[in-house]
């Protein structure tokens, strides 16, 4: 069963499954809201992590990543799809960037595509969803997704 409700001014989709309740948040499309910078996240923000997982799953056919501000929370949390699994990054930061290139990207929050500059390879430090410090290098499309979502956290709209 699926219900759509308004709660505290936000539209929520609630899907009841055999695994439990899945919260599907409305995608924010207001550029003024998307341009606000996010703040660091903490252990009290784990519900946002779950909401990102649920909302990305609901949009998996046309979405490969999300930032918390896309679902109404100005916290430094992103999620990216790596095919067989999704990776949550809390308070991610790019430490190193290699090989810049120009590309065009689309966004679930915006209409159409826009040109932007990205890097083929990046080194990122972040906290995983258990708040353990991680450092990892990403290349090509996963690196591009992370850069796009980190732009969202900084209030940068491509």
Residue 11 belongs to a domain? no
Calpha distance 64→76 (Å, rounded): 17
Domain of 148, CATH number, reads 3.90.45.10
* Number of domains the chain contains: 1
Task: Please write the tens of the pLDDT for every residue from 94-132.
Answer: 999 999 999 999 887 878 888 999 999 999 999 999 999
Q: Which domain holds residue 88?
A: 30-153
In the chain, the DSSP E strands lie at 2-7, 10-17, 20-25, 65-67, 77-81, 86-106, 113-127, 133-139
For residues 158 and 148, is the Cβ–Cβ distance under 8 A? Answer: yes
Residue 149 belongs to a domain? yes
Residue 110 belongs to a domain? yes
Task: Please write the tens of the pLDDT for every residue from 26-58.
Answer: 888 888 888 999 999 999 999 999 999 999 998
Sheet holding 2-7, edge to edge: 2-7, 10-17, 20-25
Calpha distance 52→113 (Å, rounded): 23
Query: Catalytic amino acids?
Result: 149
Q: What is the mean pLDDT of residues 89-93?
A: 98
Residue 128 belongs to a domain? yes
pLDDT of residue 21: 57
């Amino acid at each position: 069963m699926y219900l759509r409700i308004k709660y505290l001014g936000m539209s929520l989709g609630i899907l009841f499954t055999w695994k439990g309740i899945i919260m599907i948040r409305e995608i924010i499309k207001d550029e003024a809201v998307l341009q606000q910078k996010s703040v660091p996240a903490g252990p009290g923000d784990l519900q946002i992590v779950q909401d990102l997982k649920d909302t990305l799953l609901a949009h998996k056919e046309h979405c490969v990543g999300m930032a918390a501000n896309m679902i109404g929370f100005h916290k430094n949390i992103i999620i990216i799809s790596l095919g067989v699994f999704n990776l949550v990054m809390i308070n991610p930061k790019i430490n190193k960037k290699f090989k810049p290139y120009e590309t065009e990207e689309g966004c679930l929050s915006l209409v159409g595509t826009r040109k932007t500059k990205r890097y083929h390879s990046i080194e990122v430090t972040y906290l995983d969803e258990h708040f353990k410090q991680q450092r990892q290098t990403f290349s090509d499309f996963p690196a591009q997704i992370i850069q796009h979502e980190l732009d969202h956290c900084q209030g940068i709209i491509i």
